[in-house]
Amino acid sequence: MKRMLSLMCVLMAAGVAAGAEIQEEQRCDALPGGQVHVKNVAGAVKLSSWEKNEVFVHAVMEKKSGKLHLDCTQGHVEISVSPKNMEADLTISVPAQSSLGVETVSASIAVERVAGTLKFESVSGDIGLAGDAQAIFATTVSGDITLKASAAELEAQSVSGDIVCAGDFPRLKSSNISGDLTFTGAIGSASLENTSGSTEIKGSVNEVEAATIGGDIIIDKAAGRASLTAMSGDLRLVGEGLKDAGFETVSGDVEYKGDLAPNGALRIEAKSGPVHVALPESTAAVFNLHTLSGGIHSAFGAGQQDSLPGQGHSLRFTQGDGGGSVKIDTLSGSIELSRR
């Protein structure tokens, strides 16, 4: 009998909760390239495009007293709910060329096929986007950012959420504290900062500047210029006709594979981590290798190693016309120079 009463109480409570939910729909005319701004604290925001020049909102709110607000003026649409801290699921249709501004606290954000300038801000909600846009700006504290899109400009920032982007971005800027940064596609210029999460570009990049404290940095293909800095993380880069590449680390490993542009420069400074460099045998450059207490191993078979007490080991030689420059300096880390 007690078990039956308990079950009845659970069912009654579920019925009360279900009865407290309210749904509301509103729509208004909108310009094809107008601005749409959404505020929703908790729940979810789902946006997608359609062919109509109007905005349609379907809201599912947790309180019977909940109210959907749709304010439409010339070229600008504001969407919100009250009370402000109420949980609400908003499903919104907008013209395809609209620009968006979406602000949430814990509500997730999911957007499909909206092509204007997109700005997203959330505290703990995840942000997801599918479809190309003019520009994308996304910020979270602990939520993840997942993009399958291309845009002329991308800025993505998080504190502990992962940032995963697949698409082409002529300009990219991204930062994180403990989350990972992962980008796949063709990138023009990239500025990346991380503290302990990993940073990886799986596609190609023309110019990249990346810095980390404890995380690894991995660049699959770089052409043009590259600057990688780490305290204890590993640095790995594959270069293709690099004009200028610089690596600096304290205790992490450094690995470079690739070639240099004519008159290109490669500079590596490491404290205790080993350095591995693989270059084509035809590389024309002046080589200057030095380590204080580590060893130097060169497969190029040129030059004479010098060893002086208290000054470490040095190897200097010139290949071809010596148009390029390769300079590697370590304290206790070994240097390995191999043919690619």
300-324 mean pLDDT = 80
d(CA 34, CA 118): 12
d(CA 291, CA 191): 30
281-306 mean pLDDT = 87
Q: How confident is the model at residue 9 (pLDDT cuts 50, 70, 90)?
A: very low
Helix (H) or strand (E) holding 79: strand 76-82
Check residues 306 and 51 and name the one with the higher pLDDT: 51
Helix, strand, or coil (residue 31): coil
User: What local confidence, expressed as pLDDT, does residue 311 receive?
Assistant: 73
Strand partners, 256: 237, 277
In this model, does residue 13 exceed pLDDT 60?
A: no
Q: How confident is the model at residue 308 (pLDDT cuts 50, 70, 90)?
A: low
Check residues 9 and 289 and name the one with the higher pLDDT: 289
User: What local confidence, expressed as pLDDT, does residue 16 receive?
Assistant: 38
- pLDDT digit string (tens) for 43-97? 999 999 999 999 999 999 998 889 999 999 988 999 999 999 899 999 999 999 9
| Maximum mean pLDDT: which of 2-11, 169-178, 288-297 | 169-178
Check residues 9 and 293 and name the one with the higher pLDDT: 293
What are the structure tokens assigned to 75, written together? 């070229």
d(CA 290, CA 155): 39
103-109 mean pLDDT = 98
User: What local confidence, expressed as pLDDT, does residue 65 receive?
Assistant: 87
299-322 mean pLDDT = 80
d(CA 233, CA 254): 9
- Radius of gyration from C-alpha coordinates of the chain: 27
- pLDDT digit string (tens) for 324-340? 999 999 999 999 999 98
Q: How confident is the model at residue 174 (pLDDT cuts 50, 70, 90)?
A: very high
Q: How confident is the model at residue 2 (pLDDT cuts 50, 70, 90)?
A: very low
227-231 mean pLDDT = 96
Q: How confident is the model at residue 251 (pLDDT cuts 50, 70, 90)?
A: very high
Helix, strand, or coil (residue 130): strand
Regarding beta strands 324-330 and 254-270, do their DSSP bridges make them parallel or antiparallel, or are they unpaired?
parallel
User: What local confidence, expressed as pLDDT, does residue 3 receive?
Assistant: 41
Which region among 177-181, 272-276, 287-291, 303-307 has the lowest average model confidence (pLDDT)?
303-307
User: What local confidence, expressed as pLDDT, does residue 182 receive?
Assistant: 98
User: What local confidence, expressed as pLDDT, does residue 48 receive?
Assistant: 98
172-185 mean pLDDT = 97
Considering the chain, what is the average pLDDT of its residues?
Answer: 92
Helix (H) or strand (E) holding 10: helix 2-19
At 284, the amino acid letter reads A
User: What local confidence, expressed as pLDDT, does residue 309 receive?
Assistant: 63
User: What local confidence, expressed as pLDDT, does residue 300 receive?
Assistant: 86
User: What local confidence, expressed as pLDDT, does residue 322 receive?
Assistant: 86
- pLDDT digit string (tens) for 129-169? 999 999 999 999 999 999 999 999 999 999 999 999 999 99
Please work out, in degrees rounded to the nearest 5, the angle formed at the alpha carbon of residue 167 by the alpha carbons of 42 and 122.
15
User: What local confidence, expressed as pLDDT, does residue 63 receive?
Assistant: 85
